[in-house]
Structure 1
């Protein structure tokens, strides 16, 4: 079942349960996916494109969450926590620290990286492998640590 199909099913469930918060988040994500399809000139997105949109939505919420926490806007922080919780249901299972570390080590060996100046090569090789399964900043820290 694709992400869009799961979103549609969960939207119906949220409507029946009169869960306005969940319904709002699902509609927002579906709208983003439709906008992306229009932007790309397609009728439907591939699984990878759906994951890209979903990852972007999660990242936007995390960035906003950070900003709102710094500004002391607890009223908005609570809502964003809920939105993130709903969005995480559709994300693939996240890689553990050990799994991610292993992927980074293998990639460093594949590209023959030896110091921090090779970081761009390593990051561009690692990110497609962990798309949607790990946060980019976490990958960045691991690559930096291993190239030091």
Structure 2
């Protein structure tokens, strides 16, 4: 089942359960997906079906990251009630994301990507990151992975 259908089915169930928090978050997810569909219309990559699962995973990852930053800001500002709301939204969004890779798995994935792309120096970092994004979208934080790839490529040079 595609992510779009899973979100829709979960939204319908939240309506039946009258779960306001869940329903609100699922509606935000749906709105973000539809925004991306609209943005894609008329572009060369428009297939008429809307965005695919990879793009939806990217949207969900971005939404999670935004809410984590908001929760941190609310905690620093002493607004624990708002931080808790953000964390509740994160838990709903994470239901649709694949399992996050641990440090060892990330390290193995970086090594495999370097070998697969034939990367030899820091100039090949874009190829390695592109390969990782194709293979592991939604499973790792690419902001944290970038410096690790750079370290491995610099150490190998």
Q: Equivalent of 2:138, from 128, 132, 140? A: 132
Establish whether residue 88 from structure 1 lines up as the match of residue 97 from structure 2. Answer: no
Shift of 1:142: 2.8
Q: Distance in 2 between matches of 1:43 and 1:114?
A: 39
Q: Please provide the CA RMSD for this pair.
A: 2.2
Asked if the contact 1:69–1:77 (Cα under 8 Å) also holds between the matched residues in 2, the reply is yes
Establish whether residue 113 from structure 1 lines up as the match of residue 120 from structure 2. Answer: yes
Shift of 1:66: 2.7
For 2:39, the equivalent position in structure 1 comes to: 39
Shift of 1:140: 2.6
Q: Distance in 2 between matches of 1:108 and 1:43?
A: 34
**Which sits farther off after the overlay, 18-27 or 68-77?**
68-77
Q: Equivalent of 2:65, from 59, 65, 68? A: 59
Deviation string, structure 1 residues 1-47 (Cα, Å, up to 9, x no partner): 11111111111111111100000000010011111101111443222
For structure 1, which runs of at least 5 residues remain unmatched after alignment?
none
**Which sits farther off after the overlay, 121-130 or 25-34?**
121-130
TM-score by length of 1: 0.84
Shift of 1:130: 1.7
For 2:17, the equivalent position in structure 1 comes to: 17
Shift of 1:144: 4.3
Shift of 1:104: 0.7
Shift of 1:87: 0.3
**Secondary structure of the equivalent of 2:61?**
helix
What is the number of residues matched between the two proteins?
147
TM-score by length of 2: 0.80
For structure 2, which runs of at least 5 residues remain unmatched after alignment?
42-47
Shift of 1:134: 0.7
**Secondary structure of the equivalent of 2:138?**
coil
Asked if the contact 2:14–2:22 (Cα under 8 Å) also holds between the matched residues in 1, the reply is yes
